[in-house]
Amino acid sequence: MGLDEPITYLKGVGPELAKKYAKLGIRTIRDLIDTIPRRYDDYSQHTMVKDLEPGAVTLKASIISVKGHYVRRGMHITEAIADDGTGEVRLVWFNQSYRAQSLKREQEYFISGTFGRQRQRFVISNPNMELVSDFPVSTARIIPVYRETKGLNSKQIRTALSQVIPQMRQFPETLPGWIIKDYKLPGYAESLENLHFPADADSLATARKRLGFEEVFQMILASLLIKAEIKSEQAPVVPFDEELAKRFVNHLPFSLTDGQRASVWQIYQDMERGEPMNRLVEGDVGSGKTLVAAMAALMVLRQGHQVAFMAPTELLARQHAEGLYKALEPIGFESYVGLLVGGLKPEQKRRAQAGIAAGDIRLVVGTHALIQEAVDMRNLELIVIDEQHRFGVNQRKTLMAKAGHMPHVLSLTATPIPRSLALTLYGELDVSILDEKPAGRQPIITRICSPNSREALNTDIRQELDAGRQMFVVCPLISDSATLDLNSAEKIYEQFNTQDFKQYRVGLLHGKMKADEKNTIMQRFVAHEIDILVSTTVIEVGVDVPNASIMLIEGAERFGLAQAHQLRGRVGRGGYQGYCYLMMSDSKAPSQRLRALEQSSDGFKLAELDLELRGPGAIYGQAQHGALDLRIAQLSDGKLLAAARQAAERFISQGEDLVQYTVLNQHIARLQAVINLN
């Protein structure tokens, strides 16, 4: 049986069942073996009937009687008596009429299930049964539980896996021998078998450690190889002009933070080396990342070369262009700033493109379309990317073809990234951290609210609105859902417009609107033609409305920690006190996430907690569609991360030839394709 044989090759898997397997992404034997259990139930400890206590149990006993019958509404009940020599226990199955015929009297079975009281008597409900003479897959061991779909349960998946144990044992080793030896790891094939059919708890832990190590090792190695490829290219040397930097800083109405100074100096050193800079500046909302980018651009502009500043939305691009113009005006560099976005009129766009081609516009601000359209930036030396944590090697090469050289790249993010994540997720990037807020910025007051307190909350909100402030309202859904009892943006918009806040100007914004319609709504909110903006998370990134002081998050328990913290950062950006209200969808006790948000405004601490709460799963977010998510490794396991990183660095420093490790090479190529944003 080959690993690439269809799943129908297995006994008991016909075309109809194969369709259900396909829903879980399982089409071949290889896919089946590659399926990771969601959790495990421990039925490995045998109990005597005389010692039974409520909970998960496993018996080794014989069936002495069995019968089946129907009760009201057509429900079928099968009842049996099991005896292990120390006593008897009743077994009950619901709607499993085949049980009565399949159970063999006077033969020993492993019986695993939950022992408890049911209708005034103790029974084991719906237990799994396997003959002691067979290889147990659902009893008498640590049992893996898999993702299921209608018509396909974990027991069926385990039974299918038991047929391919010989194929698991034939899997080739995927790591170099010296890594297996030096890091005391079991073999790949052995680990696969123990992942699905662990002999005991220690075997399972060792298997997960091995497979988790490999996951992280591959991810780090893919990133470090990209970093090495970038470093091997040449980039223009951008000299540091100390006098110009001091002149710029002296005209600022505030002092730089220590984090800003350190980050700017790291950037200046990067750009003087003659190899492409690939740096990420991460800092909490309001920590001054755009100013750091402006100081990076300063040195390039001084040389007469060009900078592309890319923002995720047209609105944010306009805001950045305005901010950069004001920052550069005191030193006479404001005329170099130009805007190129889709919303420009044809004549404005033509003039902007002509100015860029002529080199008159040196700091071009726009969306990602800057590098996709026919924009002539032959003097491009620096790309600044806001809220786009990766800028692929292939995209750099596209620009290199235009400019004739590899540009420097500086990425900015307001999403604090835990150190453990940065070492794995962004191994190809050098990271600078801004962990201070500008002087005078007030912490946002955050409060958890239940639906019962809405009237009192509305009173507080009206006081702020009457004082001339504005409010964001963010909802988890656009429209009402038949399955989720949550306030949608459309429902809240209607309620606020006709009842709660009908005396104010209320606007609606969501992702299904056309781009120009969204842009118009946001522009009206910025201009204070709207008092309350009801929205989905489309306002999450970068929007700057200094007059907005209130953020109301509906169904707050539905949002992740990092996301809710980002939303909170949309307010309190002017000179006014900011408020964030976390409105729960019911009156239950608040979750640990909400309590953390209420008590802390430290984005880095919240990011660490968010990672801890989410486990190994969706660490890359929607942008990567889960292609790089960890399935086994825990990013909270510092020792594992350190060992995997050390192994990856040794692999490169020893000059290992990746091509000779066929499977590893394939995995690295797949990871790099996503990291490179191909």
pLDDT digits (tens, 9 = 90+) for 114-158: 999 887 788 999 999 999 988 888 888 999 999 999 999 999 999
Structure confidence at residue 230 as a pLDDT band (50, 70, 90): confident
**What CA–CA distance (Å, rounded) separates 570 from 281?**
19
What is the CATH classification number for the domain harbouring 531?
Answer: 3.40.50.300
**What CA–CA distance (Å, rounded) separates 294 from 323?**
9
| pLDDT tens for each residue of 435-482 | 877 666 678 899 999 998 999 999 999 999 999 999 999 998 887 665
Q: At what angle do helices 662-675 and 201-231 cross, to 10 degrees?
A: 60
What is the CATH classification number for the domain harbouring 108?
Answer: 2.40.50.140
Average pLDDT, the chain: 86
Q: Which domain holds residue 21?
A: 1-40+148-170
Q: Considering the domain boundaries, does residue 634 fall inside one? A: yes
Q: Considering the domain boundaries, does residue 283 fall inside one? A: no
Q: Considering the domain boundaries, does residue 128 fall inside one? A: yes
Q: Taking residues 252-266, what's their average pLDDT?
A: 91
Same domain, 204 and 216: yes
**What CA–CA distance (Å, rounded) separates 111 from 129?**
5
Count of Cβ atoms closer than 10 Å to residue 262 Cβ:
15
Q: Considering the domain boundaries, does residue 430 fall inside one? A: no
Structure tokens at 222: 């893919």
pLDDT in the model for residue 367: 82
**What CA–CA distance (Å, rounded) separates 518 from 508?**
9
Q: Is 576 helix (H, G, I), strand (E, B) or coil?
A: coil
Same domain, 117 and 128: yes
pLDDT in the model for residue 324: 93
**What CA–CA distance (Å, rounded) separates 663 from 441?**
52
**Is pLDDT of 305 > 50?**
yes
Q: Considering the domain boundaries, does residue 14 fall inside one? A: yes
Same domain, 225 and 348: no
Of 550, 569, 600, which one is at a domain's C-terminal end? 600
Same domain, 612 and 676: yes
Of 600, 616, 649, which one is at a domain's C-terminal end? 600
Structure confidence at residue 620 as a pLDDT band (50, 70, 90): very low
Same domain, 593 and 634: no
Within 8 A by CB and 6+ apart from 558, the residues are 476, 486, 585
Structure tokens at 471: 């409010």
Same domain, 449 and 518: yes
Torsion angle, CA of 566/572/578/579, rounded to 10 degrees?
-20
Same domain, 254 and 396: yes
Of 574, 600, 626, which one is at a domain's C-terminal end? 600
pLDDT in the model for residue 622: 35
Q: What total number of domains does the chain contain?
A: 5
**DSSP 8-state code for residue 173:** P
**What CA–CA distance (Å, rounded) separates 612 from 592?**
12
**DSSP 8-state code for residue 498:** I
Q: Considering the domain boundaries, does residue 433 fall inside one? A: no
Same domain, 154 and 181: no
Structure confidence at residue 298 as a pLDDT band (50, 70, 90): very high
Same domain, 257 and 373: yes
pLDDT in the model for residue 544: 76
pLDDT in the model for residue 309: 92
Count of Cβ atoms closer than 10 Å to residue 123 Cβ:
18
Cβ burial, residue 528 (10 Å; 0-12/13-18/19+): middle
pLDDT in the model for residue 624: 38
Query: Alpha carbon of 527 to those of 150, 155, 306, 320, 345: distances in Å?
Result: 52, 60, 31, 16, 21
Same domain, 330 and 464: no
What is the CATH classification number for the domain harbouring 162?
Answer: 1.10.150
Q: Is 267 helix (H, G, I), strand (E, B) or coil?
A: helix
**Is pLDDT of 31 > 90?**
yes
Q: What is the pTM of this model?
A: 0.74
Same domain, 263 and 332: yes
Selected residue with higher pLDDT from 573 and 228 = 228
Same domain, 462 and 508: yes
Within 8 A by CB and 6+ apart from 328, the residues are 248, 294, 298, 301, 334, 336, 337, 363
Q: Considering the domain boundaries, does residue 471 fall inside one? A: yes
Q: Considering the domain boundaries, does residue 436 fall inside one? A: no
